[in-house]
């Protein structure tokens, strides 16, 4: 999964021959999972049509402050658009537009939006050789980068004038890679390794029956996806679930039983920086598992159970530098039980779920959590999607790691 997946990208297109490349650029952004909106200068429409870019981006292309097509008085809000974006890219960035950006001129909708933006702004210069070399252009590059804008350098090659040299806009693939690499460097979990357990465990009674629980694994898989998006190297150990790996860069290890999960977790734990035990591990397993299907006979059947190894307790006993986070699903004496587990298992914090909260717990797209910290502090969160809950949990881990 690309680091721009889920990002809202505002693409500003100016009047240069390289504008034709923006169709390919929009496709790459969409394929990487980003949302894209396009703003054009009026003259840019002579090089690539708004219809092409609106079709590819699935959003209306804007080039003026009012709706030109229906002659209405509806206003395109440049401030709102600038605030919408997670990042803005101006490509191609002509010498004319770069000069106006550097001087704070605002004579078209694109420039007004640029001046209103609060997000990182990237620009990809595109112009002829002598224009690119001109001292005023070089000064504008320096001015814009001093503002915090990020320049995607032009490359050398054949130019529209027939000359060959520096000034050619970077290719769409290279622009995407540049932005991904730049964003990756600022990710808070970059160079961190995270271990996550997820889902239920199945404890075999015989070849067709098992003891298990209702965990879907959704929370753990969302944590894994969020950790990877924040730059972490992720190892996801999952019990039986229908969920697919959310990111091919995540190392997914599928297991069945608590013993299987114990062996995998203890194997990888020494090499990680953070471990989040979100799996619903069976506390007990049948003492004997039949090799053949048990036939129905008597009215009752006795099943002797033995304790499974306590994965979280073992990790807590052996942890050195790691941040260790556990989960507690409770139905009564919730905070008291969670606080006891937090202390017994040497956790940095524990995530409390209550089955008494509507929309929380197993087989739900949402969750409502309370975090208990080892210093006695607590933090409550509203009912949210499990995607948002995963981000909340990881934000607390990031804060903890920065202390």
Find, among 219, 222, 254, the residue nearest to 239 by Cα.
254
pLDDT at 402: 83
* Mean pLDDT score of the chain: 91
User: Which residues, 6 or more positions from 32, have their beta carbon under 8 angstroms from its beta carbon?
Assistant: 2, 4, 5, 176, 180
Q: Is the pLDDT of residue 271 over 70?
A: yes
Torsion, CA 55, CA 56, CA 58, CA 59, rounded to 10: -80
Return left, alpha or beta for 330; rule: phi > 0 is left, psi -120 to 50 is alpha, else beta: beta
Return left, alpha or beta for 291; rule: phi > 0 is left, psi -120 to 50 is alpha, else beta: alpha
pLDDT tens column, 348-359: 999 998 777 776
Q: What is the pTM of this model?
A: 0.73
The percent of residues above 90 in pLDDT, for the chain, comes to 75
pLDDT tens column, 51-108: 999 999 999 998 887 665 545 556 667 778 888 999 999 999 999 999 999 999 999 9
Burial call 209-225: b when 16+ CB within 10 Å, e when fewer: bbbbeebbbbbbbbbbb
Domains, the chain, ranges and CATH? 8-185 (3.40.50.1950), 193-401 (3.40.50.10300)
Over residues 330-351, mean pLDDT = 93
Contact call for residues 272 and 217 (beta carbons, < 8 A)? no
pLDDT at 61: 92
Cα separation, 399 vs 396, whole angstroms: 5
Find, among 218, 225, 247, 232, the residue nearest to 323 by Cα.
232
Tokens of 295: 């036939």
- What separation in angstroms does the CA of 300 have from each of 161, 288, 303? 89, 17, 10
With H, G, I as helix, E, B as strand and everything else as coil, classify residue 106. Answer: coil
Over residues 358-368, mean pLDDT = 75
What are the backbone angles phi and psi of residue 400, rounded to the nearest 5°? Answer: -65, -40
Q: Looking at per-residue confidence, does 160 or 204 come out higher? A: 204
Contact call for residues 289 and 206 (beta carbons, < 8 A)? yes
Over residues 310-319, mean pLDDT = 96
E strands, 72-220, are 87-93, 121-125, 150-151, 155-158, 164-168, 193-198, 203-204, 210-211
Q: Report DSSP state, residue 245.
A: P
pLDDT at 21: 96
Tokens of 143: 């001015």
What are the backbone angles phi and psi of residue 252, rounded to the nearest 5°? Answer: -100, 125
- What separation in angstroms does the CA of 303 have from each of 283, 284, 286, 294, 296? 15, 11, 7, 12, 14
Enumerate the H helices of 134-234 as residue ranges: 135-146, 172-185, 218-229
Q: Is the pLDDT of residue 360 over 70?
A: no
* Vertex 227: Cα angle to 382 and 6 (nearest 5): 75
pLDDT at 58: 94
Residue 249's pLDDT band (cuts 50, 70, 90) = confident
Residue 157's pLDDT band (cuts 50, 70, 90) = confident
The catalytic residue positions are 213
* Vertex 143: Cα angle to 139 and 148 (nearest 5): 145
pLDDT at 359: 66
Residue 274's pLDDT band (cuts 50, 70, 90) = very high
Which has the minimum average pLDDT: 87-101, 176-190, 355-369, 373-387?
A: 355-369
Contact call for residues 360 and 383 (beta carbons, < 8 A)? yes
Over residues 327-346, mean pLDDT = 92
């Amino acid at each position: 999964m690309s680091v721009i997946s889920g990002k809202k990208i505002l693409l500003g297109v100016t009047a240069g021959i390289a504008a034709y490349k923006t169709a390919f650029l929009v496709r790459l952004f969409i394929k990487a999972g980003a949302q894209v909106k396009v703003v054009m200068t009026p003259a840019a429409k002579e090089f690539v049509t708004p219809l092409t870019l609106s079709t590819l981006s699935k959003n209306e292309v804007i080039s003026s402050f009012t709706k030109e097509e229906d002659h209405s008085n509806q206003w395109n809000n440049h401030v709102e658009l600038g605030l919408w974006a997670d990042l803005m890219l101006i490509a191609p960035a002509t010498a004319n537009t770069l000069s106006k950006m550097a001087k704070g001129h605002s004579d078209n909708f694109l420039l007004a939006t640029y001046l209103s933006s609060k997000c990182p702004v990237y620009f990809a210069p595109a112009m002829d050789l002598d224009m690119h070399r001109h001292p005023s252009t070089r000064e504008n590059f320096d001015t814009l980068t001093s503002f915090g804008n990020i320049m995607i350098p032009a490359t050398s090659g054949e130019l529209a004038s027939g000359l060959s040299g520096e000034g050619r806009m970077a290719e769409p693939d290279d622009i995407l890679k540049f932005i991904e690499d730049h964003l990756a460097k600022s990710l808070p979990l970059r160079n961190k390794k995270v271990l996550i357990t997820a889902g239920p465990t199945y404890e075999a009674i015989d070849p067709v029956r098992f003891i298990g629980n209702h965990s879907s694994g959704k929370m753990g898989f969302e944590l894994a996806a969020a950790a990877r998006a924040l730059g972490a190297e992720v190892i996801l150990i999952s019990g039986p679930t229908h969920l697919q790996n959310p990111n091919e860069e995540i190392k997914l290890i599928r297991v069945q039983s608590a013993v299987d999960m114990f062996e995998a977790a203890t194997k990888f734990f020494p090499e990680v920086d953070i471990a989040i035990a979100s799996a619903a591990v069976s506390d007990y397993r049948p003492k004997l598992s039949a090799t053949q299907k048990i036939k129905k006979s008597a009215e009752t059947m006795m099943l002797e159970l033995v304790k499974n190894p306590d994965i979280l307790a073992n990790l807590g006993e052996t942890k050195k530098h790691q941040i260790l986070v556990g989960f507690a699903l409770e139905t009564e004496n919730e905070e008291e039980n969670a606080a006891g587990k937090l202390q017994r298992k040497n956790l940095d914090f524990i995530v409390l779920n209550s089955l008494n909260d509507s929309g929380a717990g197993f087989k739900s797209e949402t969750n409502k959590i309370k975090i208990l910290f080892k210093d006695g502090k607590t933090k409550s969160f509203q009912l949210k999607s499990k995607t948002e809950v995963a981000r909340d949990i990881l934000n607390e881990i990031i804060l903890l790691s920065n202390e």
